[in-house]
Amino acid sequence: MPFHATVLTLYPEMFPGHLGHSLSGKALERGDWRLDAVQIRDFAVDRHRTVDDTPAGGGAGMVLRPDVLARAIDHADPEPGLRPRLLMSPRGRPLTQARVRALADAPGAVIVCGRFEGVDQRVIDARGLEEVSIGDYILSGGEPAALTLLDAVVRLLPGVMGNALSGVHESFEDGLLEHPHYTRPQVFEDVPVPAVLTSGHHAAIEAWRREQALALTRARRPDLLSRS
Ligand code: SAH
């Protein structure tokens, strides 16, 4: 069974978005993964198809109603426990490459996109939604966050990336940022490609790349080095 993503959203037309292009798009067409976008509004319980209401206790904005979202989840994910249920949320645990890898090994994911001020806490608890953040900033909705998460996951699925190796030596895979890259021309605006890279000496090249990766990580992301 290919990886099956179900996204619950008020804007299903935003999917597959950029994932319909390039390698992920071709993989989608081939059936190497599957994406369903479910309109939350279809599960409204009133004539006006209301999905949100004012926050209890007052304050700005609107909150997604728990009853409507619960109906949507129960319909979209009739086999709870099979696929992780995620809620895109700035309060969530920040997404990491390790989590992305774990998700790519799962049968799929059920992803809820918030809008407005957020989602009623009771449906988060009752339906076991795991909050996932894509960074310490606020988007206007969960859709670009869901697309970002799926982008990172889908490129790891079997058959999606043509060159299997280009998933291995990358930033974060070994806890380091990646070394710099060079290609032709040999000299660009008076700057040559580092000599070691054209030496043909594979061990020296490996050592140089490792050194560069370490130096970059130390300079830019020392927090990665102190992670166990
Ligand atoms: N009032 C909320 C922000 C709501 S933003 C708060 O302060 O926490 C509206 C929706 O956008 C959220 O429900 C969430 O689904 C999505 N969103 C915003 N920023 C996000 C982020 N950094 N990561 C993941 N989802 C995010």
CATH number assigned to the domain comprising residue 60:
3.40.1280.10
| Judgement on whether residues 60 and 122 belong to the same structural domain of the protein | yes
* pLDDT less than 50: residues of the chain: none
Read off the pLDDT of residues 105-124 as tens digits, 9 standing for 90 and up: 999 999 999 999 999 999 99
Q: Which residue has the tokens 């957020």?
A: 118
Same domain, 189 and 142: no
Give the pLDDT score at 168. Answer: 61
pLDDT at residue 170, as a whole number: 84
Question: Which tokens belong to 153?
Answer: 């996951």
Residue linked to tokens 């290919």: 2
Q: Give the closest residue (by CA) to ligand 1 atom 13.
A: 114
Q: Specify the pLDDT at position 16.
A: 98
Best of 69, 89, 119 for a ligand 1 pocket test (most atoms within 8 Å of beta carbon): 89
Domain boundary among 154, 181, 196: 154
Nearest protein Cα to ligand 1, atom 23: 133
Cα(96) to ligand 1 centroid in Å equals 17
Q: Does one domain contain both 200 and 129?
A: no
In a domain, 31, yes or no: yes
Q: Are residues 20 and 105 in the same domain?
A: yes
As a whole number of Å, the CA-based R_g of the chain is: 22
pTM above the 0.75 mark? yes
Asked if 215 and 125 sit in the same domain, the reply is: no
- Name the residue with the closest Cα to ligand 1, atom 8: 90
pLDDT for position 227:
78
Q: What is the pLDDT of residue 228?
A: 58
94 membership: H or E segment, kind and range: strand 85-94
First to last CA, the chain: 34
Residue recorded with tokens 């309060």: 91
Same domain for 188 and 92: no
Helix (H), strand (E) at residue 132 = strand 130-133
Residues 131 and 180 in one domain: no
Give the integer Cα–Cα distance in Å for 219 and 82.
41
Give the other-Cβ count within 10 Å of 83's Cβ.
Answer: 19
Do 176 and 136 lie in one domain? The reply is no
Q: Do residues 84 and 103 touch, judged by C-beta distance below 8 A?
A: yes
For residue 144, give the DSSP letter: H
Helix (H) or strand (E) holding 72: helix 66-76
Residues 136, 178 within the same domain: no
User: pLDDT at position 163, please?
Assistant: 63
The confidence score (pLDDT) of residue 104 equals: 98
Domain tally, the chain: 2
Among the listed residues 75, 5, 85, the one whose alpha carbon sits nearest the alpha carbon of residue 44? 75
Task: Return the pLDDT at 166.
Answer: 59
- What lines the ligand 1 site, CB under 6 Å? 88-91, 113-115, 117-118, 133-135, 137-139, 141-142, 145
At 29, list the tokens: 């067409």
Atom of ligand 1 nearest to the CA of 118: 13
Per the structure, the complete domain to which residue 40 belongs is given by 3-154
Q: Would you state the pLDDT for residue 164?
A: 57
